[in-house]
Structure 1
């Protein structure tokens, strides 16, 4: 994050991070609250370690993380992670338990319900680049074998004894799923808190995840994203695991 981006972020969140000083102690400056929270997200360091580094109490550090994440969601959601429109499709689903299957999370999400009910503004069918002779093709979601086959959702053919055409299709779907794997990789590379167990109360973790996604969009830069993408590919992630795009 550049100094200019830090200043812009502070100008957006400053009013929400300002607290009144008391006769007992002076309030922490908004810039320090923001710095503590960003360090927590970017490094994944423990609250105790951050408290020692910034010479603050553990409770103060924890409260700063909670306050900043809530402020990011409140002040930046509509600008950097707006609701889907006819032109853009940007959706996150936060708050499901780890024991819930990917298919279950999708079915219970607003996106899954909207596609099933045909209430979303999905773009109309169009021809593929360089393949106009194939006719118009619909826009679809791409999932793995855990997802049901739908008119708007494609999944790979099951089994091993497949024809050449089916194997090619499965490979192409796997390549398409690389998009989501790379997206998760870029997010985690930027906010290394996702490489560790998040030592916060579960009720506050949702806001942390939302805040990280908003900050990801805020910091979006082609050069930086290409660097992170190159790092992911160098680690050998050439085939996407079972995820959904």
Structure 2
């Protein structure tokens, strides 16, 4: 099983530790591509229009400045760097050691800066969204798409892919639709299903945790994933097509 997550917008900076090393990150074939993005990000973050290019406000000035020196910043595991609703719901540090090992093996975070990283990969905190167009590279989702196809396609081969990414990050890599299930969350209000971003993120994190802690074998098919989700939620499965992944719809009461 492969669980694809988006990064969080906010990130926790390491207070100590060595800088990241390219050769220690998962998917080492991406090292040259990561170096290009890192250099382009540093240059953009030093420019007079840095905040406009990165799409951030002045309150994030310190994070933009940090983007210039990521090679020297202390690093920590990705599961510590990424924060926010989804990651709080996943609750890595509340897992048992065996469950943490399972998370490290199963979870991959698709990233605007790194392309993709494993959950235990050591990285610094940074500020960059997949929707950003960096000078010289263009929009990062389009830039990464051909570069992620090989390494992530190989990692996903033969696996059930549980896709918990937002659409922005899903645009950077499309796994085999026959073995992929995108996760959608709806809340029922006045009898109408609505997507509420906060609850969607939280429930995707809860689903990832449930898949890591539940008893029994990991799901290997979309139907088995549905059965696992129905252990906790009202859920339904929309079959995919030759070009479109299956859809797991989790329905929350209002």
TM score, norm. by length of structure 2: 0.26
Greater fraction helix: 1
**TM norm structure 1:** 0.26
- Decide which structure has greater strand share: 2
Instruction: Work out which of the two has the higher radius of gyration on C-alpha atoms and give 1 or 2.
Output: 1
